[in-house]
Amino acid sequence: MSVLKNPFFWFPCILFWANQYLEKIQGLFLPFLHSYLDDLLAIPVVLGITLQAFRWVHQNHTQLIFSKKQIIIGLVYFGLLFEGLLPAWSSVYVRDPLDLVCYAIGAIYFWFFINNKGIGNPIKK
């Protein structure tokens, strides 16, 4: 199944957009959501888009899924970049261990609900 047809992919995308809209356009800042919602949604959105792009170019495109190792590498990359390197280079970014927890929850969500071959039972691998 196409990632773009998976409602479990669209849910974090729409939630991310709505959060950005409320913050940037409406000026509504809910402190907990402002701090952690984008981090929670980042992995499902980024890996979902990446998985769809891989499926477009891979010859066995409908069966392609990411391995646990690949998802963990993506998780480590996000953690190192956004919680390690960027805070060291810029005062705009702040290290927060709870961001890592949010990335991990997002990775688990991606594994169970987006990273699958068909719409049937997303939890069954």
Alpha-carbon distance of 117 to 119, in angstroms, equals 7
**120 within a domain of the structure (yes/no):** no
| Centroid of chain to Cα 2 | 17
Structure tokens at 63: 């069966």
Domain hosting 37: range is 3-114
Distances (CA, A) of 73 to 67, 80, 105: 10, 10, 15
Decide which of 44 and 28 is more confident: 44
When pLDDT is cut at 50, 70 and 90, the band that residue 25 belongs to is confident
User: Quick check: 45 pLDDT over 70?
Assistant: yes
Task: Note the pTM of the prediction, 2 decimals.
Answer: 0.87
What is the number of structural domains in the chain?
A: 1
**123 within a domain of the structure (yes/no):** no
When pLDDT is cut at 50, 70 and 90, the band that residue 121 belongs to is very low
